[in-house]
Amino acid sequence: MAQPQQRPIANRPISFLNRNGLFLLLLALLVFLGVYLPLSESPLFMFQNRTSSSSSPSFVVSDWRDYSLAQAAKFVAKNGTVIVCAVSYPFLPFLNNWLISISRQKHHEKVLVIAEDYALLYKVNEKWPGHAVLIPPALDPKAAHHFGSQGFYNLTSRRPQHLLDILELGYNVMYNDVDMVWLQDPFKYLQGGHDVYFMDDMTTIKPLNYSHGLPPSRNGVTYVCSCMIFLRCTSGAKLLLKKWVEEIRAQPWSNTEAKKPHDQPAFNRALHKTTHQVDVYLLPQSAFPSGGLYFKNKKWVNETNGKHVIVHNNYIVGYNQKLKRFQDFGLWLVDDFSHESPLEKLE
């Protein structure tokens, strides 16, 4: 029986299914080339950028507006430690100056900026994706934040709860005010198994062999600074922070008070009330001087030259006054070294 004659393959009609399959394949390829690749090359895609060695979190760039503290801490933590500041947009130049000094010590990748308003949140994550988080409610960026103002109280009174939340996530945490400058690596001073490390805020010069326990009180009050604190993830550190939160709540803001409340007296009260339950360590004064000592005692500065680690620009009130003092002492790094800031590297 004769076999039916077959058409050459080249002359066979393409089936409807094959045409559709080819069309869908081409469409998928165009979508991939036109959408995915441009996004993947963006420094903001998946929070990847040249300045971060962290593994990328499993969320896309638009999510940082709802970035949780847990996601943020996981992204920046190195060796179980997070370096934290809490700052509002008007102090962006001071944040930048602080970051330059930390970058010089190779610890900037651990930094998490707790933005107190959306303007700062957007700016930091635009320049340095993944390194800022906002914990609601956002504060009014136009409110005064000078020492003694209600805006200052609103900002600083949230601090211990932020730190406690990070400890509860399982990380050690270092807190700094942004009117500080790192001159050396402070972590070599954070050895041992103590719960909490802090610096004295006094200007009185201590002997080199002074005790590193809780300082003796003056009129029943110590003057430990809440501007620089390192807390290990221990039950003792958590207890201190919980007591600090309680002490702040016990002294709410009142515009009629002659002496406006802020977080530092509450911190000192919490230290005293937990003194037998928390292992504390007072850092060396020569390495962690107060602004009242470093900027006002030239003789002491010369005698301790080479030992200074973190300098705090306190004992002075006012944005412009702090800025000028940093400039006068060669500690304003923004003008000449902005290229060293992680906030500038993506420009």
Question: For the segment 8-19, what is each residue's pLDDT rounded down to a tens digit?
Answer: 434 444 444 455
193 and 237 Cβ atoms separated by less than 8 Å: no
Residue 201 CA to residue 221 CA, distance in Å, equals 12
Question: pLDDT tens for residues 195-238?
Answer: 999 998 889 998 878 899 998 766 667 889 899 999 999 999 99
Residue 344 CA to residue 16 CA, distance in Å, equals 55
Provide φ and ψ at 82, rounded to 5°: -125, 135
Rounded to 5°, angle at Cα 269 from 70 and 204: 105
Task: Say if residue 47's pLDDT is above 80.
Answer: no
186 and 289 Cβ atoms separated by less than 8 Å: no
Quote the number of domains for the chain: 1
Region 316-337 average pLDDT: 95
Q: Which of 122-131, 202-211, 257-266 has the highest mean pLDDT?
A: 122-131
Pick from 195, 118, 124: nearest CA to 164: 195
pTM of the model: 0.78
Question: Domain span at residue 329?
Answer: 69-340
319 and 179 Cβ atoms separated by less than 8 Å: no
**Residue 185 domain-assigned?**
yes
Task: Say if residue 182's pLDDT is above 80.
Answer: yes
**Residue 286 domain-assigned?**
yes
* Token pair of 133 as six digits: 């988080």
Provide the CATH number for the domain around residue 123.
Answer: 3.90.550.10
Element (H, E) at 311: strand 310-312
**Residue 59 domain-assigned?**
no
**Residue 54 domain-assigned?**
no
**Residue 262 domain-assigned?**
yes
264 and 290 Cβ atoms separated by less than 8 Å: no
**Residue 63 domain-assigned?**
no
**Residue 30 domain-assigned?**
no
